[in-house]
Amino acid sequence: MGVVRGQDPFAEDAAEARRRLVAALDAEGCLPDPTWRAAFAEVPRHLFVPVYHVGAFGGYERLSRDDPDPLDRLRWLEGAYEDRPLGTLLRDDDLLSSASQPSLMADMLHALDVRDGDTVLEIGAGSGYNAALLSHRLGDSRVTTVDLDTDITDAARAHLHEAGYHPAVVTGDGALGCPGRAPFDRIIATCAMPSVPAAWLGQCRPDAIVVTPLSTGIVRLRVEDAGHAEGRFLHTSAYFVPVRGALPAAPEPRTGGLPRRALDSDLFRFLLTLASESLDPYEAYALWRREGRPDRERYGVTVRGGRQWAWLDDPGGPYSWALGGPARSPAGA
């Protein structure tokens, strides 16, 4: 359990704001596990976002705990405990890092299904808040968080220290995992991935679980061995800052000429992004309508024999799309 170091002038108000946040997450059914409920109730999110940015008038508004205006300081504190994502690092008006929406974080941590004694690798250190939640649940020595950007890891380490947590914070390419700290029982990513890095599976113990954003969803994979993992998407939508480093960015899907009602559908855009390298957008639209506008839970991902593909309903069925390359049938895999 973390212990806040030094005097925190916001501690009392922050504790009440945390109670409201946890009550809201409880009401949404996001905290069925009492151990995660305790983590969200006790980890001080405001210490991880001393400065953050929220969308305003086509750009970003900066809120800070050091603002000279007491009303703006109050806005900063209340915003730190709202169920919304917060931008934590801007560079030339580009968002490089963010603190995820707490309800989405709770969904992903629940899907991770950690057990006492598990070791966890987090890809994307962000503000350090997610690593603090993991450390609260498992202990500092069992948590590793990695990020490519030194500014991000330095800030995350400082926030964690202020809140009394000390997991391993590593600067490096998250797509390569963290071989010096492997093997892991669980891997969780907090950045959007175009595919599943092979290095992750090679650093997992058998029966490990990987939870990672892919397309505009979250996939949960169970790892059989270094060459095989499979699983389905969670129900929730998810929009994360793209991973930076060795993996190429996922291409933007083509949308020209598609009906507005399709582009307005979050579920269709999920399929369109998932299959962007393999499926013509008009074919994707026809398939989506024919299959009854399927929810995310009907989709999954398989990694096997150096290949990986997304699929609808059945990994060996008629609807599958290669990830990270041209379309190939999984038949005989």
Instruction: Return the active site residues.
Output: 100
Spatial CA neighbour of 211 closest among 226, 232, 225, 241 = 232
CA–CA separation, 22 vs 38, rounded Å?
9
**Using CA atoms, how far apart are residues 157 and 273, in angstroms rounded to an integer?**
34
Alpha-carbon span 98 to 89, nearest angstrom? 7
Angstrom distance (rounded) from CA 5 to CA 284: 53
| Main-chain phi, psi angles of 91, to 5 degrees | -140, 115
Q: Which two tokens stand for residue 17?
A: 């704001």
Q: What gap in Å lies between CA 272 and CA 250, rounded to an integer?
A: 12
- How far apart, in whole angstroms, are the C-alpha atoms of residue 278 and residue 240? 22
